[in-house]
Structure 1
């Protein structure tokens, strides 16, 4: 024991802190034997490779002189129980292997000589989780041994047991700050961090065109397509179709927004609308182990990819819900605190989705400032057992509206203001409730079947949220001819209405991501005509620029068709035919799902098969249109997921509901075991989504250390895909 203290004193004299391995007899004097429950907890957290800050091997303060109770000498219990793999050299870190082991504050462990080589050029970021370290390992000089003793090297420490860490403490502020996730919750969540420079600038200043350079006049493109370009004069149509196609511009580069604000010039080189994001995360007992580890990793990716003007708050719920920290900007300090809070999560308890959403909505309601874009992400792997009772043979259909707070759906001005993007995780989640939550709030529902895909699913979602270029979009369709009338608008889940006289129709679209497209079919009555042309409708779009707050109005040209006395064979527009097929497939999915819920899986499969046959006879299918091919593949996949009641309950229902969500909002969702495995998903993906998704996959596939981290976890918790 004495020789160990001498080594510690020498290290402390070199301004180093040495974690000395203890033998069993030393632990008997300094540590009480750990209970089996504590060992199990430590091992579980170690397997997840994510620890609470309370379990870190390095504490925030250390005494200058070592003592038997010193916090500067601490043994990692979980590390001593099992061997690990170094995420840099990918070899085993075995007790008594002759190499020192460094355990960082983010809980990841490495061979000391591997990590010192990795950080010797000033890199203070974990190569596995990208967390920024406050303490880094340093290669110290070989210690001069006392006379008669062997030479001691910090790297080749001559010990054969336990874990040893050599670190240099980085400078830190003198003020002691209590982590926000440990602080008591206030009654009103008005403690959100002030908006960033860019957001505050646009909030304080109205848009002035004279103060802007190189700003395009429009960020939205409107195209229209009649189903046929010519129709005989003597013929009238009660259901003539006109396609309205909208496409948002790519991310716009605005430079020199104000000559009087030079400090913002660099900031606004490639501006986008800052985001307020609240993630509502399920940490019930069923999330323990692999699921929670992968959720933490996915949240780490989200945190690292939010900008300094974006704000994040995290709500964790099980039997109750708690706000880990208020809305705060994801600066370097904000990211570090958010990572620590997320890594501290431990799974236990029940599943109270309603309480989690209530608290998430409260964060949005009570905030003092508002970024232009607001959204809630909900993830759960279970069924709410506190607010909604499950349905059964003798139970009525549950009222899923009870899961949503009134602020999201309670009034005329409340709906669709804060979309909830819901993610159903695994085979046991309640897909019906998650789909209902997203549908009511204006968000999307994604089905995460394979645990490893959770980060990609989050990446795709935030790739869209971080690229909003159009807000509060409303589409107005007005008849150009006094005898033309709007019969109906086919707009999916978007609120739409036709005025009483049929002269106008409206669709409330809301936000559009950069490069995102929307297609709406307008059915109109076309009368007979005495002239050579008939004017049908014109389209007007009104929206708000999320950055400048400017209201923009765009109008299309009139939609006209030729009216010859005798028309040849009508050629149907492939653009119109393609969208008809999409709506027809979505309608078949909804019908099949309703029949399957009644227990008639064979009838549901038959509905999907009939739809496939009809699609194959259409113009777009015969031309091998990409969307039509993808629809056929999707319908076939749904048929396979209705092979039995067990398969349908495990994955079929969630897969269909996620598909319906994607088609009704015309927005990409994660579905099944992949976010990019089919051309159907790619049909709704935007370049911003693809870029973020690629970044996520590159982080996993391009990093051997990340692969070594994930694969053992997947082998523990992954289930085969049901068929």
Structure 2
């Protein structure tokens, strides 16, 4: 009779036709954005708008989202007891007209719930009991909690239920933590740092006969950023927003390894760096605002990461929008800002990329105007590589393909190894013709923005940030005219490099008085040797162009043509000066093209891994920056990866960290060592330093 009585109270409180059942999955309350349906509206269009993943109530039971609103105010729908204002029990009536015991509903909303447990209406005003403790927690499906506790990977940090137990999100994300308290030393100012960029230029040949005319004469400019200082605190701090996929496909090992990778990121951020995490499935939620990674900040952040549970759909567009809001609403700005986005699936809410003919890409939905690079990581064989590459390309970030689950941490390590070593910002390269008869014909700079003066006498390259010891190579072409009146030499162009030194907070200008000069002789005896440096960069650009052409053919469904383009490029590379001198970059490019051809052996193979591998390689060559790619073999690991020493150091640190399960606590403890038993093999994040290719 007791059970029948309680069920009768529930039906009275919630309506006679209301469904009540145990949830099979959980999702964050923030996934509900639709207003409460009226008592008269029960049409299928309302049902269609609601998420398919069940949303738990505060009691752990799934309340029907389509039932009739209860007109009864005699029963509290949370504690199922009589609604009386006795013994200090105040009554709270919400905007939707439903009433609850005040202490019951405050216990519910303090865990992040902003919707009515009965009708699911989203509240603008919520009751808050400032004097209450956090002793009451939302119940979680016991099986989900058991599965979750099996993958606690973060250094003994206790679990905290699910990420829906966080505080309600504010309307404006201006609650970011102060960037540099006065009681701490300002580590970003370093008067002893060497902020000078190394500039080298290479003309295609050193001399041209006065009677000769040369078309597309190439001049290479190579820029190398200064080295990082031994004192790791003497660097500019970072604002990082990580946007993490926790949809249903991330269950099990995937989310376990993602937590481990985020633990590594958190542990390697400094006290002045700030981190915010956006977790998304059917909807997106900010786990915490931009928080400084002090010891306390790390501890709290690890707890929140440790609480994540995978379920629901995939809403990348909303996640990026929320991540951008974190950056645009913040009160304070660290000198370096960046996003990291990881997803293993395709957006189930927004058309992100033209995967089939006729679909239109909504760039404006994906890329809010915050002008911050988004480094994307496509995980596994089911992610939308076209969309992830487009997001990174349009924002100025890198697209990495993580084919094997166990290299998530290493891929993240490589990325933050660069972000934590920014030594040059707002870099611009100006090209000015010196000789009055010369004009700039083209500037080959990959994905970097290039602008040419209408009269061809000058040009500009917007490069942006450089990591410590990172290099950039740009080719400028022009026609060398016949000039019988020329003296012994000809000044061709002058490169002016302007950038901001974030350590000293100064603007640096270099190369103003350095002209690129060639000799103009009466005759040129014999055939001149083409500069190996110029030839090497021509090969890189030729390979990048072939990769783009092959990828376009593969997307049209013509894999035969795509493979023919790659074969043709390999043959041309083999006939160059670099190849004949066994240049290691040329060898690596040939191996890379072969790997891409193998991943185009069939449509199924291309769809599962070829597309992502090709697009990641294209991203790397276009920006001249390292990406993680697939699961390369020993032979293809020689590919030019553009890794910097800081990236290599961070990847090595990641590979020497192993995690061992503690059987008594179901926690995974970190082990640090150099033995081959503890070190993971990372072939997809290439450890081939760029300087070895010289």
Equivalent position of 2:422 in the other structure: 468
Is 1:595 matched up with 2:557? no
* Secondary structure at the counterpart of residue 663 of structure 1: helix
Equivalent position of 1:241 in the other structure: 218
If each structure's helix is expressed as a fraction of its own residues, which one has the higher value?
1
- Alignment coverage as a number of residue pairs: 535
Normalising by structure 2, what TM-score? 0.71
Equivalent position of 2:386 in the other structure: 432
Q: Deviation at 1:548?
A: 2.5
* Alignment CA distance shift 1:571-1:276 (3 Å): same
Contact 1:457–1:675 (Cα < 8 Å) also in 2: no
Over residues 92-120 of structure 1, what are the superposed CA-to-partner deviations in whole Å (9 max), with x where a residue is unaligned? xxxxxxxxxxxxxx9589xxxxxxxxxxx
Contact 1:475–1:508 (Cα < 8 Å) also in 2: yes
Q: Deviation at 1:285?
A: 1.1
Q: Alignment partner for residue 553 of structure 1, among 509, 531, 534?
A: 509
Between the aligned partners of 2:476 and 2:171, the Cα distance in structure 1 is 49
Equivalent position of 2:166 in the other structure: 182
Equivalent position of 2:577 in the other structure: 619
Over residues 194-238 of structure 1, what are the superposed CA-to-partner deviations in whole Å (9 max), with x where a residue is unaligned? 0135999769x9x8xxxx75343x431110000111111111223
Contact 2:226–2:469 (Cα < 8 Å) also in 1: yes
Give matches, 1:463-502, under 5 Å. Answer: 463-502=417-456
Over residues 489-540 of structure 1, what are the superposed CA-to-partner deviations in whole Å (9 max), with x where a residue is unaligned? 0000000011011111110000000010000000112222321111101111
Is 1:534 matched up with 2:490? yes
Q: Deviation at 1:132?
A: 5.9
Q: Deviation at 1:562?
A: 1.1
* Secondary structure at the counterpart of residue 292 of structure 1: helix
Is 1:506 matched up with 2:468? no
Between the aligned partners of 2:559 and 2:337, the Cα distance in structure 1 is 40
* Alignment CA distance shift 1:233-1:350 (3 Å): same
Between the aligned partners of 2:418 and 2:277, the Cα distance in structure 1 is 19
Equivalent position of 1:363 in the other structure: 326
* Secondary structure at the counterpart of residue 571 of structure 1: coil
* Alignment CA distance shift 1:325-1:213 (3 Å): closer
Q: Deviation at 1:180?
A: 10
Structure 1 residue runs of 5 or longer lacking an equivalent are 1-34, 42-53, 56-69, 83-105, 110-125, 135-177, 254-267, 409-416, 711-720
Is 1:692 matched up with 2:644? no
Equivalent position of 1:398 in the other structure: 360
Between the aligned partners of 2:481 and 2:144, the Cα distance in structure 1 is 80
Between the aligned partners of 2:336 and 2:415, the Cα distance in structure 1 is 13
Q: C-alpha root-mean-square deviation of aligned residues, in Å?
A: 3.5
Equivalent position of 1:655 in the other structure: 613
* Secondary structure at the counterpart of residue 506 of structure 1: strand
Equivalent position of 2:536 in the other structure: 578
Q: Alignment partner for residue 283 of structure 2, among 297, 320, 323?
A: 320
Equivalent position of 2:317 in the other structure: 354
Give matches, 1:216-227, under 5 Å. Answer: 216=194, 218-227=195-204
Q: Deviation at 1:397?
A: 3.8
Between the aligned partners of 1:373 and 1:331, the Cα distance in structure 2 is 18
Between the aligned partners of 1:381 and 1:39, the Cα distance in structure 2 is 19
* Secondary structure at the counterpart of residue 446 of structure 1: strand
Equivalent position of 1:9 in the other structure: none
* Secondary structure at the counterpart of residue 207 of structure 2: coil
Give matches, 1:258-269, under 5 Å. Answer: none
* Alignment CA distance shift 1:201-1:332 (3 Å): closer
Between the aligned partners of 1:369 and 1:401, the Cα distance in structure 2 is 28
Between the aligned partners of 2:184 and 2:632, the Cα distance in structure 1 is 38
Q: Deviation at 1:565?
A: 1.0
Q: Deviation at 1:546?
A: 1.5
Between the aligned partners of 1:681 and 1:403, the Cα distance in structure 2 is 35
Q: Alignment partner for residue 154 of structure 2, among 119, 129, 150?
A: 129
Q: Deviation at 1:607?
A: 0.5
Q: Deviation at 1:391?
A: 4.2
Normalising by structure 1, what TM-score? 0.69
Is 1:252 matched up with 2:223? no
Contact 1:676–1:682 (Cα < 8 Å) also in 2: no
Between the aligned partners of 1:674 and 1:310, the Cα distance in structure 2 is 33
Contact 1:241–1:523 (Cα < 8 Å) also in 2: yes
Between the aligned partners of 2:454 and 2:618, the Cα distance in structure 1 is 30
Give matches, 1:371-386, under 5 Å. Answer: 371-386=334-349
Give matches, 1:103-142, under 5 Å. Answer: 129-131=154-156
* Alignment CA distance shift 1:704-1:383 (3 Å): closer
Give matches, 1:44-59, under 5 Å. Answer: none
